[in-house]
């Protein structure tokens, strides 16, 4: 039925002040989830950084408080507090009015990264409460706000010898979908800013009161350190980081000349990937823009000109292209632009036309000077580019061969691809990359009409350490690229040819499946990055178990979830009664489920204890009896008797006692110690329980169950009551196993070791059905760290990988034994 309500002047609503921001927050901060939440913090931080750009600040401290609020403190000049011509004090004006701020005044800020008077007022509008303290003229001025409105007048709160601004705010849950600040997201951005502001002597710190963590970042060499750190774990081809920086005055559009500052650091490695980060006024322009175009043009021209002048071309060789010169390139380009024009509010692409020529000129001149002073560097870069050109030519021939072969065969699609039904729109189509022919056959049986299945044979090539020609000669990779349809590499990517709106990696839930999934993600991230950047790549989460009781069936993807579902399905009226020194505590229903989940979580950490030490996990847990006591770090066995020791000092003292008068001591420290166990005077084992176990024990005690309940004793009796059945145990772990046995009665648990073990309907229902499945979209939150992880784990250098494994070995889960 059409809406017959009148549409007249009364239908027009005017939202005064910051009400429009609260009504449509996504228009101002992008969204109201994780990204938008942290955007609020960045607006405050950017204002503090702008103070440093103006030469008035050298330090920014960010603190996440225990109540979830965030504060940002700088040592700048402080927000003005005097009266404004509008009738409001200047502080209240910038906090409550859109488009009010010092960044419109060119004498106050030459450049800035904030939202030109929108940012800080938007933060205020989207905060449950916000407090501002200004340290200025020997006084501390304070004013508070609530949801964008003033909640107190400006007042003097004390005296001070410092200057600066402190803003503390609590994101408003009424408008924000997410309100929990991420330490890692803050850390990544603050570290990035410290690189960018390093040469001006700026320090940034982060403190998280929730987890008692703090870090401080300062990088005196700025972008040089940034580029060098980006190449961690890679083999560099020239040790010196090429560094260029210059400020020029430029006239734009007939206006007075304005300053443009260009800073660049670059270094090549022997890899096959380009890794370039660009910034404008400290804003990460992840989609590049005119500055990136100018840099690439200058780099290609400078290297080709050098090669011609030094006669590095042989005969009639074709010169390298820009793509060849960017293979193995790591670079950071940072600009300060007086009037940046971004293509969107989120500022991911620069549009200033004049910037391209400015960057091209400054970078070109800087490279020419550097090449003249250090000729060995451009020669090594040019030789690498020539290798890249030859590989590219070989890859082109391989690609052309594949295309000709596909044309002769007909449709051009892989023969083993089971495509969607005809008429399916690309945006609705889904491509499942399935591990093995067996799983592929099962998936074909259960798929929906809009789902295509491409079985993969074994593990594909690791593209992280393979040249382009080797990659395109790999049959399985050719098959994947052909099926997707977009082309290969960023410069060939054509989204209009994408045949599927979702590309879903579906592998077995085991170590081999994880490896195949990682190899596929490496292919997409390194060689088809636009698929990841534009959100087309997903990972399916197949079940480990199917749990059935009567007509109820549940699929679960982890052992932890399995325990929870068993309790939900099978616990029934089972109760656990703990009698301790005459006092009874009864756990049933949700309270018992919570206890079972907690104990199961604790027991999952048992593998962190060295197996050959024969340590009782229950005895180990019982060592932490008080909430303020840490778990012991060592287990020492001497003359058949073992004991826990809390610290290295305690261990050293015990070993000194054992050493004896002759000073001889043989210590067995595991299989790698070089000492036979039966010949050792003492056996020493390091214990790696970590804070997680201790926090779980504290939670257990909060439920009224002491940690020493895991040790059998006469003081405590554990009774399991289930209907007419009744049993008793002497320790909590045994009681847990008895309750678990009750949960498993009349329940069928089926373990899936691979996708092929399910029939078509089960695979569809558990993993492929859009209404029930659990898909994870692949995205990149931290480009720098993502690049580093792929380099370490998938790259050719073994040593960084070994160090990573040693450092994180005890964090590994779901390993096959």
What are 693's two structure tokens?
């176990």
Active site residue 75: no
Are 44 and 204 within 8 A, CB to CB?
no
* Residues in CB range of 222: below 8 A, 6 or more apart: 195, 196, 197, 198, 199, 263, 265
Cα dihedral sign, 68-74-78-79: negative
Rounded CA-CA distance 627/695 in Å is: 9
Report the SS3 class of residue 502. strand
Beta bridge mates, 416 = none
CA atoms within 13 A on the CB side of 106: 8
Catalytic choice (92, 133, 508, 729): 508
Catalytic choice (512, 530, 588, 699): 512
Active site residue 510: yes
Catalytic choice (172, 360, 435, 765): 435
User: What phi and psi values does residue 551 have, to the nearest 5 degrees?
Assistant: -95, 0
Cα dihedral sign, 547-551-552-553: positive
Strands 682-686 and 634-638, bridge-based pairing: antiparallel
User: What phi and psi values does residue 342 have, to the nearest 5 degrees?
Assistant: -95, 155
Active site residue 208: no
Are 474 and 461 within 8 A, CB to CB?
yes
The residue count of the chain comes to 817
Are 604 and 564 within 8 A, CB to CB?
no
* Residues in CB range of 674: below 8 A, 6 or more apart: none
Rounded CA-CA distance 14/26 in Å is: 18
Give residue 541's Cα distance to chain centre.
19
Strands (E), 43-188: 59-64, 70-74, 127-136, 139-146, 149-150, 155-159, 164-171
Catalytic choice (31, 209, 270, 510): 510
Of the candidates 542, 540, 570, which has an alpha carbon nearest to the alpha carbon of residue 556? 542
Catalytic residues: 435, 508, 510, 512
């Amino acid at each position: 039925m059409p809406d017959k309500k009148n549409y007249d002047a009364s239908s027009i609503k005017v939202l005064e002040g910051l009400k429009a921001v609260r009504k449509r927050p996504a228009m101002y901060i992008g969204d109201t989830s994780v990204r938008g939440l942290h955007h609020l913090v960045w607006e405050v931080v950017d204002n503090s950084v702008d103070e440093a750009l103006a030469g008035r600040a050298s330090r920014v401290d960010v603190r996440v408080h225990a109540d979830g609020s965030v504060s940002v403190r700088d040592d700048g000049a402080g927000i003005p507090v005097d009266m404004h011509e509008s009738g409001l004090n200047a502080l209240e004006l910038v906090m409550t009015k859109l488009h009010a701020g010092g960044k419109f005044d060119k004498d106050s800020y030459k450049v800035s990264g904030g939202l030109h008077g929108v940012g800080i007022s938007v933060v205020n509008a989207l905060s449950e409460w916000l407090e501002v303290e200004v340290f200025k003229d020997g006084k501390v001025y304070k004013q508070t706000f609530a949801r964008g409105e003033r909640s107190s007048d400006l007042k003097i709160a004390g005296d001070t010898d410092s200057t600066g601004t402190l803003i503390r705010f609590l994101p408003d849950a009424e408008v924000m979908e997410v309100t929990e600040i991420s330490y890692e997201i803050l850390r990544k951005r603050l570290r990035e800013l410290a690189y960018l502001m390093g040469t001006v002597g700026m320090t940034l710190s982060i403190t998280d009161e929730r987890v008692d963590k703090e870090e401080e970042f300062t990088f005196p060499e700025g972008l040089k350190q940034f580029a060098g750190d980006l190449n961690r774990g890679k083999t560099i081809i020239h040790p010196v980081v090429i560094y260029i920086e210059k400020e020029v005055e430029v006239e734009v559009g007939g206006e007075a000349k304005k300053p443009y500052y260009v800073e660049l650091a670059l270094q090549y490695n022997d890899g096959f990937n380009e890794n370039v980060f660009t910034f404008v006024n400290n804003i990460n322009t992840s989609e590049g823009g005119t500055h990136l175009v100018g840099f690439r043009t200058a780099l290609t021209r400078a290297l080709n000109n050098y090669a011609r002048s030094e006669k590095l071309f042989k005969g009639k060789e074709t010169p390298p292209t820009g793509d060849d010169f960017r293979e193995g390139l790591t670079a950071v380009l940072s600009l300060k632009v007086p009037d940046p024009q971004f293509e969107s509010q989120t500022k991911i692409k620069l549009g200033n036309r004049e910037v391209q020529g400015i960057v091209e000129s400054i970078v070109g001149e800087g490279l020419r000077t550097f090449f003249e002073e250090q000729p060995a560097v451009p020669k090594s870069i040019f030789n690498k580019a020539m290798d890249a050109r030859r590989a590219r030519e070989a890859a082109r021939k391989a690609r052309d061969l594949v295309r000709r072969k596909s044309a002769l065969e007909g449709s051009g699609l892989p023969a083993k691809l089971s495509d969607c039904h005809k008429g399916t729109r690309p945006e609705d189509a889904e491509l499942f990359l399935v591990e093995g022919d067996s799983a592929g056959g099962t998936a074909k049986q259960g798929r929906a009409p809009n789902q295509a299945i491409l079985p993969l044979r074994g593990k594909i090539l690791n593209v992280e350490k393979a040249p382009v020609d080797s990659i395109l000669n790999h049959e399985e990779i050719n098959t994947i690229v052909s099926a997707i349809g977009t082309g290969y590499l960023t410069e060939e990517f054509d989204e209009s040819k994408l045949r599927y709106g979702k590309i879903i990696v579906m592998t077995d839930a085991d170590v081999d499946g994880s490896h195949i999934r990682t190899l596929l993600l490496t292919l997409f991230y390194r060689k088809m990055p636009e698929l990841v950047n534009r959100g087309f790549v997903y990972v399916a989460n197949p079940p480990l178990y199917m749990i059935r009781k009567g007509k109820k069936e549940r699929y679960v993807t982890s052992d932890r979830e399995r325990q929870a579902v068993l309790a939900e399905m099978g616990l029934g009226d089972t109760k656990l009664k703990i009698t301790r020194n005459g006092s009874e505590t009864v756990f049933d229903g949700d309270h018992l489920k919570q206890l079972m989940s907690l104990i199961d979580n604790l027991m999952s950490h048992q593998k962190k204890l060295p197996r050959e030490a024969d340590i009782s996990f229950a005895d180990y847990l019982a060592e932490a009896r008080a909430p303020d006591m840490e778990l012991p770090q060592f287990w020492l066995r001497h003359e058949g008797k073992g004991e826990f020791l809390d610290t290295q000092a305690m261990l050293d003292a015990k070993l000194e006692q054992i050493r004896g008068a002759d000073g001889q001591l043989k210590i067995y420290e595991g299989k790698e110690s070089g000492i036979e166990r039966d010949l050792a005077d003492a056996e020493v084992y390091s214990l790696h329980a970590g804070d997680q176990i201790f926090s779980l024990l504290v939670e257990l005690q909060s439920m009224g169950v002491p940690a020493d309940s895991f040790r059998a004793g006469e003081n405590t009796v554990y009774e399991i009551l289930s209907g007419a059945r009744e049993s008793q145990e002497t320790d909590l772990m045994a009681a847990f196993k008895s309750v678990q046995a009750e949960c498993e009665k009349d329940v069928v648990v089926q373990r899936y070791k691979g996708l092929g073990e399910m029939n078509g309907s089960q695979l569809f229902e558990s993993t492929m059905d859009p209404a029930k499945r659990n898909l994870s979209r692949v995205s990149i939150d931290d480009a720098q760290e993502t690049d580093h992880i792929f380099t370490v784990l998938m790259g050719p250098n073994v040593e960084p990988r070994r160090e990573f494994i040693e450092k994180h070995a005890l964090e590994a889960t779901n390993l096959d034994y």
